[in-house]
Amino acid sequence: MSQSSYGQMWDAAQGALADLLEDEYPTMQLRPQKDRLQGFQTLATFYLRYLKIFRALEEVYDQIVHPQKRRVVHQVLEGVMGRLVELKNEMVELEYSEFHYFDDILQDFKMTPEDLEVPIPRYFVREKIRALKEREKMLAHILAKGGHQKPKTVPVQFLSVERAVWLLQVSERARQGRLRAHFMKTIRQEEQRRLQGNSSMLDPNQAATCIQKVWRGYWDRTRVNKECLEEMIFLGMIPAQQTTPSPAQLHAQQVESRRHYVQEEHEAEYQKALVNIKESVRSVDGPDIKESLQEQIRQWFLECRDATGKFPDFPNPEDGGSASIFAHKTPEQVAAEFAAREEEREKKKKSKGEKDKKGNDRKEKKKEKKEKMKGKKGKGDTEEEEKGWKMTPSNFLPTVVEGAKMYKEVWHNRDEKQNFLQCFDAQLVREEKRLEVEEELRVQVDELMRQELKNLKLVVDRDKGKKKKKVKKSSKKKKKKGRKTGKKKKKKEKDLTADRTIESLYEELVMEGFIIRPKNIKLTDYIGEYSYLGTTLRQADIEPMPSLSDVRQLIALYGVLPLGSQCVHERGPLIRALLLTGPAGVGKKMLVHSLCTETGANLFDLSPATLAGKYPGKSGLQYLLHMVFKVARQLQPSVIWIGDAEKTFYKKVPKLEKEMEPKRLKKSLPKVLKSIKSEDRVLVVGTTRRPFDADIKPFCKVYKKIILIPRPDYASRFTLWKELLQAGGAQLGPKLDLSSLAKVTDGYTQGHILQAIQTVLNSHRLNQQTKRPLTAVEFIPPLARQDPVYKEEEEAFKAWYTRTPLGKKRARAAKASEEEDHKKGKTKGGKSQKKEKKGKTKKRKKKK
């Protein structure tokens, strides 16, 4: 696509955003909605619209090369991302469920399930690829030096001499036997051919007809088979073979990657221009700006004196200096403001004096206040109950609005036809820099003018300015007092490793196996299909099982976006710890690795097995945690993975594991989690396949966000078989019935399926494929050797989830709505019965 196409795409996205903002602002001011379903519909509609805009903006940001345009797109993009996360959070709080189903709204918007995927901005990794490569090198270097490596178990077999000789003899005899059999076979074939040649001598015409018959039959059969296969592929009955990208696709890919280089070049040019243009503005326009500022301020002095009879007070630098004066106000207004401020100060003084007098009555007053507050709260609660659901104010909408405004004012109608190369706009830079220089000069001018005003007052008003000084002093005193009497400052945490560099801490953690190399897995590699029945089942009051595509979306929203973007993490809902739970092999660890790949995060491993025997004692553990979190913060984003997370919160430690001390982290983990602030892009991710073994209360206190990963459904299994087989090098043909395989593997997880595929697709079998195509039956024996997820296990997971805080809330809400329905049903039922009765009597009357 060309630059102008991306320009049009941007334009369309901004247009959609403007419409959306127009719709969204009134809903914020609307009265609370009592109907929760309607509230959800509103949220879901906004969510889908934002998602669409997000996808378009992400693509635009990845490809446009104009540095100033990219800045505007980036700002809006971050705002939109944050808003998406906020909306998801709202939906969770409204529905008490992590999973939401939008199939009906998708239909309304004519969107496909693919449109529901949360796109992952490519700039998360691309913009720091150099730093990531550096880190990767460092990690490889440390590991090569002898870092922690899991001991590889190489089976070594010792053979006795007799056994070795026997083995050699067996294989040699077998080889000779095979040779002899081959030799005998060729002799026999030659003999047969000789005999046939002698017995029947056909005349040439007959022979030709015979050959033609065989050839034509063969040729037609292959043609029909080929056409049949093509038709089946066209109908989607048989998966198409993987095709290599066409030359046009390859060219498009090249153009896209070339644009990334151009982006870098233009950015470097732009950075240079920022410095040069600022310098030139300062030297050329600086004196003029200074003079006009002085002129303006002097004019203001005179106007104020004319209007109020005396010279005004010059605003303090904290209040914005002279800039605050010219914020579209008349001199009278400014003077009135000053007067009001003075009055306020006086009032405060007085009230403080009174307070001191009535020091003894304070306690009683406090009591009264408290009572009043209680009363108010009580009222508030009832009001809230009456209120119902209302959208919470957003932290991201102002950013989005500002970006949209900038687009409209600067870029929407800008003629860019002459800018073929899409380089920066010098005029815009000059305007921007002029403002910056003006601000810098204003500080100097203010100082000068303050002095000038003082002199003027001395000469004209004979004001010695003592009063003001006094006020100033007293206000300073007040400030100091306030500071003293304010809350005690929290103890600053002691830096246990103040004398060490981050590099040395990093090296130590790698050596001890607490920092590991994440596998290169993208979130899109986590295969899983969308479930089309979600809304229908929910409407029928059946809780649907979430699909793997829903899980992917949650990981993107809770993990990838906040870890990738500082803005989203700082202003969005703060998630410190995430728990991934589900049966063995559903891809929990895979998701942890994909989180790191998509955001370029470091991967720390604090699993009980890794911790065992290292940094003993309480102080040792404290030191380790300090190191881990210090490095994680400094080299953010970071993911701290705790495998077998239930072990940290074991109800009862099994005897075999007692030596490992799995509960070492139990006490320190909540404390250390609290130290993660919104500016630290650090996420603790726990994975567990047995959450029921943990003490649920402290467990859920640490892991506030829980994602229950289900076993794959039919659609996901079908895709899994197809994709994993293709990835393993299998040729998919009509003999390999994927549908049956997906059907019989109900209950098996992705790990099981992968295991079966790896067992069957060895190199020997792969080489035989052309002669002997793969069949579905071959995969049954390796599957039969594994245990599927039994119903009991699945029920245990579901039951456990209902005991988590969110599960409990959902159950309570369901019960409440059921009761409401019941009540309504009764009243409605009563009314309808009455209506029916009325109807019947009317009919009877008519008959009569």
Ligand X SMILES: Nc1ncnc2c1ncn2[C@@H]1O[C@H](COP(=O)(O)OP(=O)(O)OP(=O)(O)O)[C@@H](O)[C@H]1O
Residues that bind ligand X (CB under 6 A): 526-528, 548, 584-590, 687, 689, 750-751, 754
CA neighbor of 17 nearest in space, from 59, 37, 46? 46
Q: CB of 801: closest distance to ligand X in angstroms?
A: 16
Of the pair 621, 760, the CB lying nearest ligand X is at 760
Q: By beta-carbon distance, which residue lies closest to ligand X?
A: 587
Q: CB of 97: closest distance to ligand X in angstroms?
A: 22
Of the pair 270, 721, the CB lying nearest ligand X is at 721
Of the pair 463, 723, the CB lying nearest ligand X is at 723
Q: Is the peptide bond before 637 cis (omega within 30 degrees of 0)?
A: yes
Q: CB of 124: closest distance to ligand X in angstroms?
A: 21
- Given the structure tokens 């002691």, which residue do they identify? 494
**The two structure tokens encoding residue 93:** 């709080």
Can you name the residues that pair with 739 across neighbouring β-strands? none
Of the pair 64, 586, the CB lying nearest ligand X is at 586
Q: CB of 556: closest distance to ligand X in angstroms?
A: 14
Q: CB of 609: closest distance to ligand X in angstroms?
A: 12
Phi, psi of 682 (to 5 degrees): -125, 130
Q: CB of 606: closest distance to ligand X in angstroms?
A: 16
Q: CB of 526: closest distance to ligand X in angstroms?
A: 4
Of the pair 111, 754, the CB lying nearest ligand X is at 754
Which residues, other chains included, contact 468 with Cβ-Cβ below 8 Å and sequence gap of 6+? 313
DSSP letter string over 666-701?
Answer: TTHHHHHHHT--TT--EEEEEEES-GGGB-HHHHHH
Residue 487 burial (CB count, 10 A):
5
Q: How far is the CA of 652 from the CAs of 647, 659, 703, 737, in angstroms?
A: 9, 13, 19, 47
Q: How far is the CA of 192 from the CAs of 181, 241, 575, 735, 741, in angstroms?
A: 17, 42, 80, 35, 45
Of the pair 94, 756, the CB lying nearest ligand X is at 756
Of the pair 13, 590, the CB lying nearest ligand X is at 590
**The two structure tokens encoding residue 363:** 């306690």
Q: Say if residue 107 is exposed, middle or buried (CB neighbours under 10 Å; 0-12, 13-18, 19+).
A: exposed
Q: CB of 261: closest distance to ligand X in angstroms?
A: 33
Of the pair 429, 742, the CB lying nearest ligand X is at 742
List the 638-643 sheet strands across, edge first. Answer: 515-516, 602-605, 638-643, 682-688, 577-581, 705-708
Of the pair 45, 607, the CB lying nearest ligand X is at 607
How distant is the alpha carbon of residue 456 from its chain centre? 61
CB 312, CB 301: distance < 8 Å? yes
DSSP letter string over 546-558?
Answer: PPHHHHHHHIIII
CB 142, CB 617: distance < 8 Å? no
Q: CB of 518: closest distance to ligand X in angstroms?
A: 12
For residues 827, 828, 830 and 835, what is the CA-based torsion angle, rounded to 10 degrees? Answer: 140
Of the pair 82, 587, the CB lying nearest ligand X is at 587
Q: CB of 585: closest distance to ligand X in angstroms?
A: 5
